[in-house]
Structure 1
Amino acid sequence: MMMISTLFLDIGGVLLTNGWDRKARRLAGETFCLDYEEMDERHHLTFDTYEVGKLSLDKYLDRIVFYEERPFTRDSFSSFMFAQSRAFPEMIELVSHLKARHSLKVAAVSNEGRELNEYRIDTFGLGSFIDFFISSSFVHYRKPDADMYRIALDIAQVVPEQVLYIDDRPMFVDVARDLGIQGIVHTTYEQTRDKLASVGLT
């Protein structure tokens, strides 16, 4: 068996909270007195286009919020969106430690819109321990498209057997496994730490 030389990681749900999930959208509806059901329907109709980098954040917000006059500004709404992100410090510390101790390459493989992704990378210092960002808005594919993982392998210049992938979505781990990439379904810090230790990453 080849030694693990590279970690592929999701961002939302592993290193940080999800950037703009149902809970955050519902809170936005309450905070800005919006019809949540209408906003959420519009979100589902257009969010994929935003996540694959074919729509700017401004255009996305035009479609889900600012298609009519509002008593608040676009900046206040987008600032609220960004403010929903929180770090999981223990996971960031764990990955940083493993990278330093084992000289690992680390790649983020994530579905995120460009502006939100760039904000999260900068705000939480993800570039200090992640070498490559294979983000849906950068490469114009979304998980579970297997091409996301093929692109990540090409960019990292590794073969599947050298990679361990951590994601909180079982389907995404299954898709990567079909390509020969070992995977961990992340549920808690403790379980992921122990599974990493079981393959020699301590």
Structure 2
Amino acid sequence: MSDITTIFWDLGGVVLTNAWDREQRVKVLNEFGITDPAMLNEFGDRHREVAALFETGQCSLDEYLDMTVFGLTNGFTKEKFIQKMFEQSKAIDGMSVLQSIAASGKYFLATLNNESKELNEHRIKQFKLDNYFNAFFSSCYLNRMKPDPDIYRTALSITQNAPAECVFIDDRAQNVQAANRVGIHAIQYQNPGQLTQALASLGVKL
């Protein structure tokens, strides 16, 4: 087995909470008084129509909000809504594993995550992720999303690594399976202990 040189990480569900999944969307909408099921359904429809554009950097956060929330109501300011969006992000237990591996200095660490530009950059700054990661292969920069196999191939091309030298960590099975199909060792994250054991089985030492 090739020695592991590079570890690609998802963020939401592994290192941080999800940034803007359904749970976060409903919570923020409710906080701004949008609780009517018909309005929530309409927002959901609008979100689905533009989500891929938003997460692949083809529309800005302002444009996304204009096409979703502020197409339904203007009873609050965009600035306050964005602040609430940002407040949904929290560190979770996988952060401890990331910090330990980063401290070892033995591996090239990069994100491989689906996220919109503004939320991604807020999370990088808020949680000082540039202290741990050498690069950010995010959907908003690469203009494609997991589980599209091209996003994994692009990350491999940029780093000039063979798939067998890399590990990918994600909490979602379809993303893990997609990485496996291009030859990357992939781990579906459950908890820090399970992740540590799975990495050790591949020769990754904390």
TM-score normalised by length of structure 2: 0.93
Equivalent residue, structure 2, for 1:43 = 47
Equivalent residue, structure 1, for 2:68 = 64
Q: Relative to 1, partners in 2 of residues 1:130 and 1:167: Cα closer, same or farther, differing over 3 Å?
A: same
Q: Which blocks of at least 5 consecutive residues in structure 2 are unaligned?
A: none
Decide whether the 8 Å contact of 2:94 with 2:191 is kept in 1.
no
| Local SS of the residue matching 1:133 | strand
The CA RMSD over aligned residues, in Å, is 1.3
CA distance in 2, matches of 1:107, 1:147: 16
Aligned length: 201
CA distance in 2, matches of 1:160, 1:152: 10
Equivalent residue, structure 2, for 1:137 = 140
| Local SS of the residue matching 1:75 | helix
Equivalent residue, structure 1, for 2:166 = 163
| Local SS of the residue matching 1:66 | helix
Taking only the aligned residue pairs, the percentage that are identical comes to 38
| Local SS of the residue matching 2:7 | strand
Equivalent residue, structure 2, for 1:29 = 29
- 1:38-95 per-position Cα deviation (integer Å, ceiling 9, x unaligned): 111111111111001100000000011112552210000011111000012x422322
Decide whether the 8 Å contact of 1:6 with 1:104 is kept in 2.
yes
Counterpart check, 1:54 vs 2:52: no
Decide whether the 8 Å contact of 1:43 with 1:64 is kept in 2.
yes
CA distance in 2, matches of 1:95, 1:156: 19
Equivalent residue, structure 2, for 1:83 = 87
CA distance in 1, matches of 2:33, 2:43: 11
TM-score normalised by length of structure 1: 0.95
CA distance in 1, matches of 2:146, 2:13: 14
CA distance in 2, matches of 1:149, 1:115: 22
Larger displacement relative to structure 2 (23-32 or 74-83)? 23-32
| Local SS of the residue matching 2:169 | strand
CA distance in 1, matches of 2:200, 2:105: 12
Q: Relative to 1, partners in 2 of residues 1:68 and 1:166: Cα closer, same or farther, differing over 3 Å?
A: closer
Q: Relative to 1, partners in 2 of residues 1:53 and 1:194: Cα closer, same or farther, differing over 3 Å?
A: same
How far did residue 100 of structure 1 move? 3.3
